[in-house]
């Protein structure tokens, strides 16, 4: 039976993550499994789940070794949970952990399971490096040989060029452009200024530093490899320092995106614990907030739209599902892949032309109160381990709503491949 007798509310019990670290640094010797396991253990320890059998666990990684074909299940087996807790791997680029949370949430809502954990992990310090296509063909041809001569013959064609390794690409296969270059084109199209991007980046670092200083992240972060705080955070940054940085992805001879207003390559992992109300309360666990809506969208970024603009489409469709407007939120958590991406999305929602021609709306969605945006900092300050960001945001937002005593929050995450994942979190 896929659906129970009634739809249940999905509780966000809480979450945990290891500090995010700039790649090739603190976690250079750590694997995806090391980091995800440490994060799962953090959740298990924080909520007293040792030996507990969860209904399901979902997570994933964008940069993934062949050895990690069963990454999440292997991490669960070392987490302290009951070995009878099933697990699955999923990947939707930068929206991976938010997507897994939505899927686990739907299973809980429909009565398939009572509890589950969702998360994500990524490391750019330990990327999957494989053999090139030429050497791969030699290996496969040789393995198909039936005789010693047939197995040896392909190797006679081996040349030095065949020894060049194959490393993960940083460009979109359909356009050949990196994400930064694609966002630079978006910034030009939407006339997003360098000053506006630097201001958003500055606020991200300032707010994240203040959140650490006030102890907000104390119960959300698990110490790992000697780190207790995201090491991308720049407490001493300033608008003057940001203004001195050179363009990182210049297009057509100019550019506004820099290392300061773009996220760096980052290693890290995060997870959230979700449950039905009965399951959480029977164990004396907190009910921080509820995951109430989720939506994914995609755009034709090859011909018609900016690579990272899909959330601009997903959010209004989700608002229609919920029967509310863009201004009906107390908090907004928009993933800061690049400051320009956030600002392009906000401009799109304010544009009568975009909302009419692209979204089919009679009126623009309108603007948001920037004071409610990423109030504890965002990805520009903390870093962005691709698959881990969504769960970081979800746990942060749930805690914020609980501290406020109620309210509604919006989550928006852009991804590679022209996709976006969004969600609504509420407490009432």
CB of 329 closer than 8 Å to CB of 372:
yes
For the purposes of burial, counting CB atoms within 10 Å of the CB of 369, is it exposed (0-12), middle (13-18) or buried (19 or more)? exposed
Residues 207 and 153 in one domain: no
> CA-to-CA distance for 107 and 378, rounded, in angstroms?
29
Residues 144 and 188 in one domain: no
Q: Is the pLDDT score of 168 beyond 90?
A: no
CB of 157 closer than 8 Å to CB of 94:
no
Asked if 65 is an active-site residue, the reply is no
Residues 318 and 369 in one domain: yes
Residue of 16, 15, 18 lying closest to 268 (CA atoms): 18
Say which residue the tokens 């290693």 belong to: 267
Is residue 309 situated within a structural domain?
yes
pLDDT tens digits, residue range 336-368? 999 999 999 999 999 999 999 999 999 999 999
Residues 6+ apart with CB under 8 A from 206: 377
Q: Is the pLDDT score of 427 beyond 90?
A: yes
Q: Is the pLDDT score of 109 beyond 80?
A: yes
CB of 365 closer than 8 Å to CB of 356:
no
User: Within 10 A of 189 (CB to CB), how many other CB atoms are there?
Assistant: 13
Is residue 310 situated within a structural domain?
yes
Residues 6+ apart with CB under 8 A from 344: 183, 186, 187, 189, 190, 192, 306, 308, 309, 312
DSSP state letters, 181-238: HHHHHHHHHHT--HHHHHHHHHHHHHHHHHHHHTTTTTTTB--BTTBSS-TT--TT--
Is residue 1 situated within a structural domain?
no
Cα angle 269-274-277, degrees, rounded to a multiple of 5: 160
> CA-to-CA distance for 165 and 196, rounded, in angstroms?
40
Residues 139 and 210 in one domain: no
CB of 371 closer than 8 Å to CB of 219:
no
Strands (DSSP E) contained in 240-305 are 266-275, 289-298
Is residue 184 situated within a structural domain?
yes
pLDDT tens digits, residue range 59-72? 999 999 999 999 99
Asked if 344 is an active-site residue, the reply is no
State the catalytic residue, choosing from 183, 344, 355, 414: 414
Is residue 387 situated within a structural domain?
yes
Is residue 146 situated within a structural domain?
yes
Residue of 382, 309, 322 lying closest to 349 (CA atoms): 309
Q: What is the pTM (predicted TM-score) of this model? A: 0.95
Asked if 335 is an active-site residue, the reply is no
pLDDT tens digits, residue range 376-398? 999 999 999 999 999 999 999 99
Q: Is the pLDDT score of 325 beyond 80?
A: yes
Is residue 94 situated within a structural domain?
no
In Å, how far are 110, 185, 262, 304 from 177, measured between CA atoms? Answer: 41, 10, 16, 15
Q: Please give the residue range of the domain that contains residue 391.
A: 179-215+291-427
pLDDT tens digits, residue range 119-145? 999 999 999 988 999 999 999 999 999
β-strands 266-275, 419-427 pairing: unpaired
State the catalytic residue, choosing from 94, 183, 344, 355: 94
Q: What is the pLDDT of residue 1?
A: 59
Residues 352 and 297 in one domain: yes
CB of 181 closer than 8 Å to CB of 249:
yes
Residues 373 and 313 in one domain: yes
Give the number of domains in the chain. 2
Is residue 122 situated within a structural domain?
no
pLDDT tens digits, residue range 190-225? 999 999 999 999 999 999 999 999 999 999 999 999
State the catalytic residue, choosing from 30, 183, 344, 384: 384
């Amino acid at each position: 039976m896929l659906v129970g007798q009634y739809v249940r509310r999905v509780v966000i019990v809480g979450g945990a993550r290891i500090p995010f670290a700039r790649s090739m640094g603190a976690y250079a010797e750590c694997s995806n499994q090391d980091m995800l396991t440490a994060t799962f253990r953090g959740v298990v320890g924080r909520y007293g789940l040792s030996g507990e059998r969860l209904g399901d666990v979902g997570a994933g990684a964008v940069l993934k070794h062949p050895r990690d074909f069963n990454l999440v299940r292997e991490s669960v087996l070392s987490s302290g949970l009951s070995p009878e807790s099933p697990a699955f791997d999923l990947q939707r680029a930068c929206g991976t952990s938010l997507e897994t949370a939505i899927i686990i949430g739907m299973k809980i809502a429909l009565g398939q399971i009572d509890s589950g954990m969702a998360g994500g992990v990524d490391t750019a310090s330990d990327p999957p490096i494989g053999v090139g296509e030429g050497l791969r063909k030699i290996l496969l041809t040789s393995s198909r040989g039936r005789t010693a001569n047939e197995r040896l013959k392909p190797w006679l064609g081996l040349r030095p060029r065949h020894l060049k390794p194959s490393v993960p690409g940083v460009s979109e296969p359909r356009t050949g452009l990196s994400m930064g270059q694609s966002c630079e084109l978006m910034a030009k199209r939407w006339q997003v200024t360098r000053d506006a991007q630097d201001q958003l980046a500055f606020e991200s670092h300032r707010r994240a530093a203040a959140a650490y200083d006030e102890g907000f992240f104390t119960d959300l972060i698990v110490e790992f490899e000697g780190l207790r705080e995201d090491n991308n955070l720049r407490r001493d940054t300033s608008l003057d320092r940001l203004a001195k940085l050179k363009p990182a992805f210049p297009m057509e001879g100019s550019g506004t995106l820099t290392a300061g207003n773009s996220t760096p390559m980052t290693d890290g992992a995060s997870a959230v614990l979700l449950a039905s109300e009965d399951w959480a309360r029977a164990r004396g666990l907190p009910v921080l907030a509820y995951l109430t809506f989720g939506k994914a969208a995609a755009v034709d970024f090859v011909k018609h739209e900016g690579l990272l603009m899909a959330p601009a489409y997903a959010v209004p469709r989700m608002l229609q599902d919920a029967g509310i407007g863009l201004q009906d939120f107390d908090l907004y958590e928009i993933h800061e892949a690049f400051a320009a991406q956030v600002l392009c999305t906000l401009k799109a929602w304010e544009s009568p032309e975009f909302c009419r021609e692209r979204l089919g709306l009679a009126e623009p969605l309108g603007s948001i109160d920037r004071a409610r945006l990423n109030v504890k900092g965002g990805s520009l300050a903390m870093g962005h381990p691709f698959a881990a960001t969504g769960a970081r945001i979800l746990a942060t937002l749930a805690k914020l709503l609980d501290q406020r005593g109620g309210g509604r929050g919006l989550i928006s995450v852009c991804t590679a491949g022209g996709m976006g994942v969004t969600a609504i979190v509420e407490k009432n």
